Amino acid sequence: MQPIPTNILTQFNAMLKQRNIPVNAHNDYRKWLRYFLDFRAKYSPPDSRSDQVRLFAEKLRLKNQTMKQQEQAADAVSLFFAMSNRKECPSSTVLQQTAPDASLPHKAQTAKAAVATNTNTLVCEPPASSVPSPPRLRGGKHFDEWRCLRKTESSAWDKVIEDLAAEIKLRHYSRNTLKHYADWSRKFQSYLKNKPPETLSASEVKAYLTYLAVNCHVSSSHQNLAFNALLFLYRHVLKKDFGIHKDIPRAKKSNYIPVVLSRPEIDAVLKHLGHPYKLVAQLQYGCGLRINEGITLRVKDFNFDAGILTVRGKGDKTRTVPIPQRIAPELKAQIEVVKKLHDEALAAGFKAVFLDDQLEKKYPRAAKELVWQWFLPQESLTFVAETKEWRRYHLHGSHVQDALYEAVSKAKLTKRVTSHTFRHCYATHLLQAGYDLRTIQTLLGHADIRTTMIYTHCIPSRTVKEAKSPLDF
């Protein structure tokens, strides 16, 4: 077995210190990295990093390594990938996602989870005949998007973040809210250089928000997100007066107009998408779904008899939208695939899917019932350290975004397209077809009609004559 190259070893040691890995575990992490480099040299695994880690973990399992050792090895490899990604993209400030951590929410253990079982017999076969390879991951991805919940050198701030997470969960806020609020709190901690939380006052908030606006030149949306995160931190966690900050310089809010594609452009993108990413894009354009709404659909949300799809959006608000009849056969075929996958999972002894909040305690058998299965399940299983169980998560949103990025590149469009663009197209095309704003507001799940009115700027004016006073008619 070859030793770790000196340049890699030096960078890896620095990464271990940066991530606050316990010193007594450094030798084990270096050992796993050495094993992984040897494994990659011997077996030439696929280019996909997630596949490399999965196969490496499977190899360790066959070598009778314990589950704790497998998880530690996966974490070591993910740190190596984070180090490699930083070297390739030195200007990027985001790091790669590490292996699932027991301290993170179950929902954070997503399709990019580094530890997985041998699921060769449980692979979800798409109903279509073509099976595309997984999309190539672009540099700069949030492979460690939950690093804000990891321990730091300040135990007082770690306790604050734990209390923050508890307050957010108590209010049933979304995972993204937890991630962003915790991340901004960590940035605030870094700005204050670990100043004790009990000594904070409103002046520190004013100084930090001014620093963001004047020195960092952040956008208005970032500044508002930081403001809301610190407001929540002070009011509900620190129990301190937040103060009035009207004199703080604010970033100028942009007059944003959504990008909208024509039907030929949408068809050109869909043509280059494979299963299941094409199905997600069709649901987004055909039903006006956000990406998280599309990938978190469950079997029970589809009512083909009534032609209705039940969508659970932001803040657990529920709405119904018509099911596009053009893709109804594909949707039914996907449900048949889920049924087959579910039967195989039960036969293998797996407990099936993750459930929200305390739903499993209320319905103990729900996780094994077909109606609660994800409509778009991930292929691999996720290990839950607390219960020592393997469960299935839904398709990860970043995989959809990566596949869409490649499809847009192949379609050679001259517009910037994201997954949310399909939702913009849904609203704009309905408006062009003569639907009123109130109907579109209900279908999109907007709480305020002013949010929906932005789509009036996306269509050309149909006024035939110049505006005149009624007295002049």
Catalytic residue among 49, 86, 147, 290: 290
Cα(179)–Cα(169) distance, rounded to whole angstroms?
Answer: 12
**Of the residues 272, 314, 319, 351, which is catalytic?**
314
d(CA 97, CA 94): 9
- Order of all β-strands in the sheet with 302-303: 302-303, 308-312, 318-322
Alpha helices in 288-327 (DSSP H): 291-295
437 vs 335: CA distance, rounded Å? 33
293/301 Cα distance (integer angstroms)? 11
According to DSSP, the residues that pair with 394 across neighbouring strands are: 377
Nearest CA-CA partner of 277 in 297, 263, 295: 295
Residue with tokens 């107009």: 257
Active site residue 138: no
Indicate the length of the chain as a whole number.
Answer: 473
Number of other residues whose CB lies within 10 A of the CB of residue 206: 15
Cβ–Cβ < 8 Å for 374, 392: yes
d(CA 90, CA 193): 24
User: Which residue, chain included where needed, has tokens 């280059």?
Assistant: 272
Q: Choosing from 59, 423, 424, 429, which is the catalytic residue? A: 423
Active site residue 455: yes
- Would you call 462 a catalytic residue per the annotation? no
| Residue 446 known to be catalytic | yes
**Which residues, in sequence order, are CB contacts of 103 under 8 Å at separation 6+?**
149, 150
Three-state DSSP at 327 gives helix
Contact predicate 80/72, CB 8 Å: no
> Residue 76: phi, psi to the nearest 5?
-65, -40
Other CB atoms within 10 A of residue 104 CB: 17
β-partners of residue 381 are 392
3-state DSSP assignment of residue 406: helix
* Residue 392 among the catalytic residues: no
State yes or no: is 420 an active-site residue.
Answer: yes
State whether residue 420 is helix, strand or coil: coil
Please give the full DSSP string across 352-387, using - where no structure is assigned.
Answer: -B---TTHHHHSTTGGGSGGGSBSSEEEEEEEETTT
- Catalytic sites, residue numbers: 290, 314, 420, 423, 446, 455
